[in-house]
A and B are shown apart, each in its own frame.
Chain A
């Protein structure tokens, strides 16, 4: 029995939450749906941990769906990179679920909660599926599963604020455009190669060489994923979606959805277009690099002028995605390590910060910064968590943010691009400003008269502090994350035939 489970772990990783979702919908009101969904999220986390440890040695796992051998059948392929991402996604889900109960109880009517958790599990399924699969079309399918359920999750913020509906609608339109671009791109690749398996695609594209169709396919996929990951000019859906979604949803998708999209980008750039493709290299340097730098500055500047905490953090996310894309645009091993390590670091940091924002929403009823005046005294633990997370966002030493900055700057100095190094640092100073606005309001301004705010319940504080703790732990001892990241980068480099600049 155990052997069968063990042999089928890659499938179970996706199937367990997928099957659990409709069951969850049938559990009705009360705590049952929540309890079941929480159990499932723990289970998926356990599965992804065992997958991670199985691939840690460096040997990738290949799993044939339904026994059909690739490239005909669908292959699930787990190597150092996506095992790492799987663990991030399911780990955040396992932390968000305990957090969700109290937060959801306030933000969503009781009779709808079972559906909410169903959508949550579907979203989890989609994100895990995108990450685990080795089949390009399968990526599209799971991307749609996660996107559709995310639209529903964002819209469920409407009970708190009606604007969630327009936010979800906007997200739906833009997300669908992105998905369409993506699927058109895959169609073009299929036209050239006649296959959808990633490894097979990579081989045949390399044989095929450059052509106009390939370029079009590349551009369509690049833009499609760019929309999903909120690459700078394509980010318009993100601030509203993050601000109006229920708090638990925001912390979950902020920590995972964009990270998974970055993973997909990495996978397509390096595994599929993995030969020495001049067009790709010039796109990265001439399009992605400026876009990333503009994102770092523009989004941070906009964040400075936001009055709503969740919205401010949303803009900060766009800027942080800029860092990940920057690491990618360097096209060096160190840059790649920077991107992958920031994937984890930012997931932990932003997850924690959005959880804190949710605690503020629960106690103060709003997340506007002006209403958080003096809250440091009423909610000491929550506010302290914000400060710790904020320091990590700035990238101060002993936090994970510092590790990311370190690798990014090192990567840019290795290339001799010292102006970029200075720009990275300058943009983190903008983070100082927007984080410190909140810190100042929370600690140094008097509380408004006649307002009582209670400390958030333990079920919300503990998950938030676990994430904060992780962001400090892996800032002090980053050996595990950086080793995992450099292994993941090695896998990517090994699977591609690009001539890497040293």
Chain B
């Protein structure tokens, strides 16, 4: 199998899985089996591609020419490969987790759910592999649309309202800003291709660079940069596997990935650094980090708190791009991996708590740690990773971002990152702390009589939920030790233009 075929296969498997899932809708076991099998097959193909990319191959496939000069093209480079690996790898755990969750929570219309899920993954992979801005934009919109039914899944008035905000903000930003930015780039440069070192230098009056960057930064609404972050908490009405994979990994990471990609391959890090065009974005990202963390502190709803934590963490990656140096790109890209692993664990824990104990608020979790120790241990591990403590993965990405801020001479940003870690401690660690150390609220037990007395045994979520949680929690630790390889790999992201031979 050539690399180009493997590329197409990686995109085709989830797309074909969609139809198989639709066809086997009446037999839930086969349907769920297909979704897990497809996720494993996709990941295998993606790993095979990763191997070639590390070896230096750069496969590229052109599908069709939509308009003269505008082609749908897929080409892989290290950054996209990283995102594809993360998304497809975590799809496996989520596919397994969804089985436990959807059945445990007795959700309706599960077939539609799995179909849209597979489509969303296909779109995320297509974004990761897109070889030009045009292709990226197309699949960016496909991802928005395919996740809309997932957010509205429960079909309650709240779900409809949440989904409306979700679609409204993502559509508004992408059409109003991103598409204009894309067409502007096209009319400036006559090309859409992602090229090492960027394509804009020399084609644009430096005065306009901050404006174009603003169109991109706000247009990529999936990166949840304030003030366009409201869709992310609104999307929390979705079933938890959706929040876990899509709103901690695929969708939001597609946003920040696009941000990094545009920064590296359209503007060019060097060009951004020289013109100082991203200076304002540094401050906006820093503000988003702090404000979202503070808002997270005030949220009692567990998923809402995690959502604001995501908003804050995404801006780390935007910040990495805006700092416009190599360490920033490395740190930002690494944070895609580290944060994905940590946040998916947290969301899956939130889902497990809902399935097993039907609790959604932080204030109701007192004493629950004794009944669900594994879930809360995993929660604590993931929290440490997000905070950035060693020996957990998140420590490294924060480290490289700090290095990048130091390189750029932004001492205030170093302070912001430190302060943000403290805030993370406050809003994340308080959750397992309550669960383990606060006594359960007793009056409930009294009023309900003996049946509701705290039992001695564990009352964990179904095994299908628990195993994925433990796996990703372990992943957070493994990533700390595996960082050497990732760092080497990320250094291969081309920063400066290739010199012509």
A contact residues vs B (CB 8 Å cutoff): 391, 394-398, 403, 405-406, 409-410, 413-414, 418, 421-422, 425-426, 428-429, 432, 436, 440, 443-446, 475-479, 482-483
The answer to whether residues A414 and B167 also contact, given A397-B138, A429-B176 and a CB cut-off of 8 A, is no
Q: Does B137 contact A (CB under 8 A)?
A: yes
Cβ 8 A contact of B179, one of A398, A409, A414, A440: A409
The complex places the Cα of A446 from the Cα of B160 at a distance, in Å, of 12
Contact with A along B60-88 (1 / 0, CB 8 A): 00001111100010000000000000000
Q: Does B171 contact A (CB under 8 A)?
A: yes
Q: Is the CB of B152 within 8 A of A425?
A: no
Q: Does B186 contact A (CB under 8 A)?
A: yes
Q: Is the CB of A397 within 8 A of B141?
A: yes
The answer to whether residues A444 and B152 also contact, given A398-B138, A406-B67 and a CB cut-off of 8 A, is yes
Q: Beyond A397-B137, A478-B66: 7 further Cβ-contacts under 8 Å?
A: A406-B183, A410-B186, A440-B160, A444-B152, A446-B155, A475-B66, A476-B66
The complex places the Cα of A478 from the Cα of B138 at a distance, in Å, of 15
Q: Which 7 A-B pairs have the closest CB atoms?
A: A397-B138, A425-B176, A409-B183, A413-B187, A478-B67, A425-B175, A444-B155
- Shortest Cβ distance from A119 into chain B, in angstroms? 39
Q: Which residue of B lies closest to A479 (CB)?
A: B65
B183 proximity list for chain A (CB < 8 A): 406, 409-410, 413, 421
- Shortest Cβ distance from A301 into chain B, in angstroms? 16
- Shortest Cβ distance from A334 into chain B, in angstroms? 9
Can you sample 9 A-B contacts with CB below 8 Å? Answer: A397-B141, A403-B67, A409-B179, A421-B180, A432-B171, A440-B160, A477-B64, A479-B68, A482-B67
B187 proximity list for chain A (CB < 8 A): 410, 413-414
A398 proximity list for chain B (CB < 8 A): 138, 142
Q: Does B168 contact A (CB under 8 A)?
A: yes
Cβ 8 A contact of B65, one of A396, A405, A425, A477: A477
B180 proximity list for chain A (CB < 8 A): 409, 413, 418, 421-422, 425
Contact with A along B142-179 (1 / 0, CB 8 A): 10010001001001000110011001100110011001
A409 proximity list for chain B (CB < 8 A): 179-180, 183
The complex places the Cα of A444 from the Cα of B315 at a distance, in Å, of 33
Q: Is the CB of A479 within 8 A of B175?
A: no
How many B residues touch A, CB cutoff 8 Å? 30
- Shortest Cβ distance from B450 into chain A, in angstroms? 41
The complex places the Cα of A406 from the Cα of B179 at a distance, in Å, of 9
- Shortest Cβ distance from A380 into chain B, in angstroms? 12
The complex places the Cα of A149 from the Cα of B66 at a distance, in Å, of 39
Q: Does B184 contact A (CB under 8 A)?
A: yes
- Shortest Cβ distance from B281 into chain A, in angstroms? 20
- Shortest Cβ distance from A172 into chain B, in angstroms? 39
Q: Is the CB of B67 within 8 A of A429?
A: no
- Interface core residue of A397, A398, A421 (most chain B CB under 10 Å): A397
Q: Is the CB of B171 within 8 A of A429?
A: yes
Contact with A along B337-354 (1 / 0, CB 8 A): 000000000000000000
Q: Which residue of A lies closest to B144 (CB)?
A: A396
A429 proximity list for chain B (CB < 8 A): 171-172, 175-176
Q: Which residue of B lies closest to A403 (CB)?
A: B67
The answer to whether residues A476 and B179 also contact, given A396-B141, A429-B171, A432-B168 and a CB cut-off of 8 A, is no
B contact residues vs A (CB 8 Å cutoff): 64-68, 72, 137-138, 141-142, 145, 149, 152, 155, 159-160, 163-164, 167-168, 171-172, 175-176, 179-180, 183-184, 186-187
Q: Is the CB of B67 within 8 A of A479?
A: yes
A436 proximity list for chain B (CB < 8 A): 164, 167
Q: Which residue of B lies closest to A423 (CB)?
A: B176
- Shortest Cβ distance from B204 into chain A, in angstroms? 13
- Shortest Cβ distance from A342 into chain B, in angstroms? 14
- Shortest Cβ distance from B11 into chain A, in angstroms? 15
A428 proximity list for chain B (CB < 8 A): 175
The complex places the Cα of A473 from the Cα of B55 at a distance, in Å, of 38
- Shortest Cβ distance from B174 into chain A, in angstroms? 9
Q: Which residue of B lies closest to A424 (CB)?
A: B180
- Shortest Cβ distance from A489 into chain B, in angstroms? 14
B66 proximity list for chain A (CB < 8 A): 403, 475-479
Q: Which residue of A lies closest to B156 (CB)?
A: A444
The complex places the Cα of A422 from the Cα of B186 at a distance, in Å, of 16
B176 proximity list for chain A (CB < 8 A): 422, 425-426, 429
The complex places the Cα of A403 from the Cα of B183 at a distance, in Å, of 12
- Shortest Cβ distance from B448 into chain A, in angstroms? 34
- Interface core residue of A425, A429, A443, A483 (most chain B CB under 10 Å): A425
The complex places the Cα of A482 from the Cα of B68 at a distance, in Å, of 8
- Shortest Cβ distance from B98 into chain A, in angstroms? 21
- Shortest Cβ distance from A243 into chain B, in angstroms? 26
Q: Which residue of B lies closest to A396 (CB)?
A: B141
Q: Is the CB of A476 within 8 A of B64?
A: yes
The complex places the Cα of A396 from the Cα of B183 at a distance, in Å, of 14
The complex places the Cα of A418 from the Cα of B159 at a distance, in Å, of 36
- Shortest Cβ distance from A413 into chain B, in angstroms? 5
Q: Is the CB of A396 within 8 A of B145?
A: yes
B168 proximity list for chain A (CB < 8 A): 432
The complex places the Cα of A59 from the Cα of B20 at a distance, in Å, of 51
- Shortest Cβ distance from A3 into chain B, in angstroms? 37
The complex places the Cα of A396 from the Cα of B137 at a distance, in Å, of 10
The complex places the Cα of A446 from the Cα of B157 at a distance, in Å, of 11
A418 proximity list for chain B (CB < 8 A): 180, 184
The complex places the Cα of A206 from the Cα of B138 at a distance, in Å, of 47
Q: Which residue of A lies closest to B155 (CB)?
A: A444
- Interface core residue of B65, B159, B175 (most chain A CB under 10 Å): B175
B138 proximity list for chain A (CB < 8 A): 397-398
- Shortest Cβ distance from B377 into chain A, in angstroms? 39
The answer to whether residues A425 and B179 also contact, given A396-B145, A477-B65, A479-B65 and a CB cut-off of 8 A, is yes
- Shortest Cβ distance from B341 into chain A, in angstroms? 31
The complex places the Cα of A418 from the Cα of B214 at a distance, in Å, of 14
Q: Is the CB of A413 within 8 A of B184?
A: yes
Q: Which residue of B lies closest to A475 (CB)?
A: B66
- Shortest Cβ distance from A344 into chain B, in angstroms? 14
The complex places the Cα of A435 from the Cα of B138 at a distance, in Å, of 19
- Shortest Cβ distance from A104 into chain B, in angstroms? 35
Q: Which residue of B lies closest to A405 (CB)?
A: B179
B171 proximity list for chain A (CB < 8 A): 394, 429, 432
B164 proximity list for chain A (CB < 8 A): 436, 440
Q: Which residue of B lies closest to A428 (CB)?
A: B175
The complex places the Cα of A396 from the Cα of B163 at a distance, in Å, of 18
The complex places the Cα of A403 from the Cα of B69 at a distance, in Å, of 13
The complex places the Cα of A428 from the Cα of B343 at a distance, in Å, of 35
- Shortest Cβ distance from B423 into chain A, in angstroms? 35
The complex places the Cα of A428 from the Cα of B179 at a distance, in Å, of 12
- Shortest Cβ distance from A435 into chain B, in angstroms? 11
B163 proximity list for chain A (CB < 8 A): 444
The answer to whether residues A432 and B167 also contact, given A397-B137, A421-B183 and a CB cut-off of 8 A, is yes
- Interface core residue of B64, B145, B171 (most chain A CB under 10 Å): B171
The complex places the Cα of A394 from the Cα of B176 at a distance, in Å, of 12
B172 proximity list for chain A (CB < 8 A): 429, 432
Q: Which residue of B lies closest to A407 (CB)?
A: B67
B149 proximity list for chain A (CB < 8 A): 443
The complex places the Cα of A391 from the Cα of B160 at a distance, in Å, of 19
